[in-house]
Structure 1
Amino acid sequence: MRIRVLLTLTAALTLVPARAASREVTLEVPGARLAATLQTPDGPQPVRPPVVLIIAGSGPTDRNGDNPASGPAGTYRKLAANLAAHGIASLRYDKRGIGASTLADPREEAQSFDDFVNDARAWLTWLSQQPDLGPVGVIGHSEGGLIALAALQQATPARALVLLAAPSENIGATIRRQLAQNPANPPEIVQEANAILDALGRGETVMNVSPVLAPLFRPSVQPYLRSSLRYDPQRLIAAINIPTLIVQGDRDLQVRVEDARQLAAAQPAAHTHLAPGVNHVLVPAPLDPAGNVATYANADLPIERGLLRAVVDFLKAALR
């Protein structure tokens, strides 16, 4: 299988962000009040600059790319600043129940993956209605890539899509693979997890879950898992008909280069940028896994230059 690598046309890219204007905005959606930062370029720029929606990855990752479990990586804050330095506005938001975004019903069992998909669509519509903003694109990172793919299955104003470290398999396949590959997991635990996933795929609830698997499969999180199992990234990307860029680092400990290859195979029209030496939070990382993970807590590390160049050049071409 051949991967088409995006050829960048910019000879040099300044990574020092220019001054940018930002303001806090909120959006009322069914069941939630969402909070976001709209960042626009400052200085010479088009009257209505292009704008991208940045969708965060899984778990309690906030609009800036900080996660209490892994550290203040600041991935989306840094991305937004660099986009603004090159004339591209962005909106990054706290997903419902995270950061400053609130829920009408905060119970875990009341949450659904579909809610995140609908929230992304609502933000895309909102961006298209702003008189001072131009063409709209979307950037999804990690699970945010799956949310973006799902959101674009219905008509939206988005004219370009960037997938950063996005998985090519649904969450069930990822859990099965990771549990099976970990030699520390006893066979009976792997078998139980597979049986639970089978039941969730049939729309059932599993009340009895071993304590070791409770963080993954506690009954209160099962509605979210059941809804997310319906989304297959390869099938979704095959239906995308707007310019698409797939970006993947080869030192990502969470998403594989193989994921990028599978997504590219499912959508041959997509461009692909493989970033050598880059990890899941889009920064250069050592081969040592511990050193790699340590970068998640270092907000001062810049996004890798080649990756940023690929994203900027793609968006400038697609959102003209």
Structure 2
Amino acid sequence: MFDVPPSEPVPFSETVIEAPGPEGVLQGTLVLPQNRTKPPVVLIVPGSGLIDRDGNMPGIQAATYRRLAHGLAAEGIGSLRIDKRGLFGSARAIRDPNAVTVKDYAADVVTWIGRIEEVADPSCVFLAGHSEGGLVALAAAGKLPSLSGIILLAAPGRPMAEVLEAQLKANPANAPFLDEAMAALARLKTAERFAVDTMPPPLQLMFRNAIQDYWTDLFSYDPAVLAGRVSQPLLVVQGMEDLQIGETDARALAGASDRAELVLLPGVNHMLKPVAKSGFAENLAAYGDPELPLAPGVVGSIAAFVAASCDG
């Protein structure tokens, strides 16, 4: 399946909307195609760290979620892309953006689904979680029986501690402090807290005290187990040039559900951008190129899944 540009652009509206958060508002951007009434709507759940609703983060202007939203609109599919509680447009939702759990993020997803149903009058609603957002989507799915389907984009299929261990081992630059990093991960898995001031600077940032509670909470989830509990249709999309998540993860997720569809995309990286089979540096450079479109097949596979799964 490939993303074929329509002969004429499909007009769409793009509106900032809000939803109630714990202490202040959550904020997102709703995109609705204007060529159909009661369109299906996809809630795009962002990945880890300081990533905004458009899919940008400090030093990496990938615009993945904005491009996904606009690509779906061209297929007659609406979307809502959101800022996580405590960050960017949702900064007022909580005082401390580090004082969060997967359960908190999942609760916000449930809130946003309610808002979509209020303001968009959709024919059906889907969750699309990217990277760590895939885990959040799976955690929320059990509380959303009315969902028409769940879409996992470059999502982990193992507990995140295992994913981080593999990522750290794969980068030769981590060799001088790899043993210390593995020991820190082991301590976090048992909810042990520790000072980081004597660690090498990269580990001080990764394991800083403010986010140790979040790491421990995150490590307690097994995405494949959650995928096995999903009753709705499940689409797993995985790029074959992903430096962070791999085919093994995608197959674990798809294999957990008898309603799953697996799409493996050659030449696609973690941010769903096209890359040649090249080195680490070239792959990372594609992360931060806002002019680089999404890879062929990304929007098309999602649009086909939505069309097949939507009851409306």
TM-score, normalised by the number of residues in structure 1: 0.88
Is the partner of 2:28 in helix, strand or coil? Answer: strand
**Shift of residue 185 of structure 1?**
3.2
Structure 1's 134 and 281: CA in aligned 2 closer, same or farther, altered over 3 A? Answer: same
**Shift of residue 149 of structure 1?**
0.7
Q: What residue in structure 2 maps to residue 5 of structure 1?
A: none
**Shift of residue 85 of structure 1?**
1.4
- Report if the CA contact (8 A) 1:113-1:225 is conserved: no
Structure 1's 300 and 11: CA in aligned 2 closer, same or farther, altered over 3 A? Answer: closer
The one-letter code of the counterpart of 1:128 is: E
Q: What residue in structure 2 maps to residue 316 of structure 1?
A: 307
Cα distance in structure 1, aligned partners of 2:158 and 2:47: 15
How many matched pairs? 308
Structure 1's 186 and 293: CA in aligned 2 closer, same or farther, altered over 3 A? Answer: closer
Structure 1's 16 and 299: CA in aligned 2 closer, same or farther, altered over 3 A? Answer: farther
Q: What residue in structure 2 maps to residue 40 of structure 1?
A: 32
- Report if the CA contact (8 A) 2:31-2:79 is conserved: yes
**Among 223, 226, 248, which residue is 2:238 paired with?**
248
Cα distance in structure 2, aligned partners of 1:301 and 1:199: 40
Cα distance in structure 1, aligned partners of 2:286 and 2:3: 28
State the Cα deviation string for residues 134-164 of structure 1 (Å, max 9, x = none): 2111111111111101111333432111111
1:114 and 2:103 correspond:
yes
1:163 and 2:155 correspond:
no
- Report if the CA contact (8 A) 1:15-1:305 is conserved: no
Q: Which runs of 4+ in 1 moved over 4 A?
A: 10-13
Cα distance in structure 2, aligned partners of 1:292 and 1:148: 26
State the Cα deviation string for residues 22-45 of structure 1 (Å, max 9, x = none): 1110111214421111110013x1
Is the partner of 1:144 in helix, strand or coil? Answer: helix
Alignment of 1:154-303 (within 5 A): 154-186=143-175, 189-208=177-196, 210-212=199-201, 213-288=203-278, 289-303=280-294
Structure 1's 228 and 200: CA in aligned 2 closer, same or farther, altered over 3 A? Answer: same
**Among 80, 92, 97, which residue is 1:91 paired with?**
80
1:59 and 2:46 correspond:
no
State the Cα deviation string for residues 196-233 of structure 1 (Å, max 9, x = none): 33332223322356133111111111111111111111
The one-letter code of the counterpart of 2:210 is: S
Cα distance in structure 2, aligned partners of 1:280 and 1:199: 28
- Report if the CA contact (8 A) 1:17-1:81 is conserved: no
Q: What residue in structure 2 maps to residue 123 of structure 1?
A: 112
Cα distance in structure 2, aligned partners of 1:76 and 1:202: 34
Structure 1's 41 and 119: CA in aligned 2 closer, same or farther, altered over 3 A? Answer: same
Q: What residue in structure 1 maps to residue 16 of structure 2?
A: 24
- Report if the CA contact (8 A) 2:44-2:128 is conserved: yes
Structure 1's 229 and 66: CA in aligned 2 closer, same or farther, altered over 3 A? Answer: same
* 5+ residue gaps, structure 2: none
Q: CA RMSD in A?
A: 2.2
**Shift of residue 314 of structure 1?**
0.7
Cα distance in structure 2, aligned partners of 1:239 and 1:168: 14
Is the partner of 2:17 in helix, strand or coil? Answer: strand
Cα distance in structure 2, aligned partners of 1:249 and 1:284: 9
TM-score, normalised by the number of residues in structure 2: 0.91
